[in-house]
Amino acid sequence: MKFNTYGYIKNKTVLIPPGMLVREGFEYKALKPLEEKYYLIFPAYDGIYWYSLNNE
């Protein structure tokens, strides 16, 4: 598994486990089991992670 930081010490690029609940804006969603994409995970203060696509 590949880890990167993009200028933020706590923000890592990781492969999210299937079905993990993430937040996109004000919407919550569970990732589909077959989605194998890397996401940028931001620190979660309420247990839900922000994410964005890593377009590498």
pLDDT at site 2 = 41
21-25, 28-32, 33-37, range with the lowest pLDDT: 33-37
Q: How far apart are CA 12 and CA 26, in angstroms?
A: 21
Query: What's the pLDDT at 39?
Result: 52
pLDDT bin (cut points 50, 70, 90) of residue 18 is low
Q: What pTM was computed for the model?
A: 0.23
**16 or 27, greater pLDDT:** 27
Query: 54 Cβ partners below 8 Å, 6+ apart?
Result: 4, 13, 37, 38, 39, 40
Percent of the chain with pLDDT over 70: 0
